[in-house]
Amino acid sequence: MKLARTLVDGTPTFILSEDGDRWVAASSVIPAAESYADLVASLQDGISNDDLLSAPEVAPSEFLPPTGALDKSIAIGKNYVAHVEETGSDIPTHPVVFSKFPSSFAGATGDIVVDSGVTSKVDYEVELVVVIGKEAKNVSKEDALSVVAGYTVGNDVSARDCQRRDGQFDYAKGMDTFGPIGPWITSADEVADAGALRISSAVNGQTRQNADTSLMIFPIDVLIEHLSRVITLKPGDLIWTGTPAGVALGMDASAFLKDGDVISCEIEGLGELSNTVVVR
């Protein structure tokens, strides 16, 4: 099952699809769901195909971020060995945690808008994003995946000059439009093994990142156990799981994103983002 958000008569609307071709308004299938968190919980519990087939079809105009109001968006840094090495950092002994502000989110084809007066070194980071479906506190590794409703694709856009200057991540990665996400949330039951997915990015059609989620230093179950020990995870919360090698920071200066560049991020079975850089 896929949960997305689009404009219907100018109004942001959650939509559902079994195959990604025929979409229906989520409210026509789950009328009791009053929030994004409710929809995500329903996604984990399972939605009847019969209900989908009987609902009127909706034609998406564009895919907005597939999230609504959420409690937390948590990101993990330095979670692939080759990426850590290309940036000249030390391999972490525990997960590096920061916030990826929901105000930074952009849709699957939305522009990445860069303030040239703030940064000149804008980078891309394709990431697997985990969507929590149940309240989770003190969850063990063994039970961790039972609280996952689904997965989506994210691009943790980063202002590297600001990141290095500040010595922290929130500002450099939290700028408006610096978090393309989507195009939809795919329910966990459709993903055989989220720890074995191809993950890649390309700039103007040229492959930059090409790896596998099995290369995470801290896999999804470890991250959920680590986070939920001290942070109560809520339905709809996101965990951005880090990026593999191939980012501009590990290349020469010409690799940083420029005005007009199109950055594509794709994860096997989960869809693709395609966002254009606009420098102002």
| pTM, to two decimals | 0.97
**How many Cβ atoms from other residues are within 10 Å of residue 190's Cβ?**
13
Output phi, psi for 181, to 5 deg.
-150, 145
Distance CA 193, CA 196 (A): 6
Say if CB 136 and CB 236 are below 8 A apart: no
| CATH architecture assigned to 73-279 | Alpha-Beta Complex (3.90)
Distance CA 26, CA 4 (A): 9
pLDDT tens digits for range 53-90: 889 999 999 999 999 999 999 999 999 999 999 998 99
Q: Looking at this protein, which amino acid is placed at residue 69?
A: A
Which parts of 68-136 are beta strand (E)?
73-77, 96-99, 105-106, 112-114, 122-123, 126-132
Evaluate the CA torsion angle 32, 36, 42, 48 in order and state its sign: positive
Q: Is the per-residue pLDDT at 153 higher than 90?
A: yes
- The residues, ordered by sequence, that sit 6+ positions from 14 with a Cβ below 8 Å of its Cβ are 3, 4, 5, 25, 26, 27, 36, 39, 68
Pairing of strands 179-187, 2-8: antiparallel
Q: Locate CATH 3.90.850.10 in the chain.
A: 73-279
Say if CB 202 and CB 208 are below 8 A apart: yes
Q: Can you tell me the mean pLDDT for 1-25?
A: 94
Q: Is the per-residue pLDDT at 47 higher than 90?
A: no
pLDDT tens digits for range 168-202: 999 999 999 999 999 999 999 999 999 999 999 99
pLDDT tens digits for range 95-141: 999 999 999 999 999 999 999 999 999 999 999 999 999 999 999 99
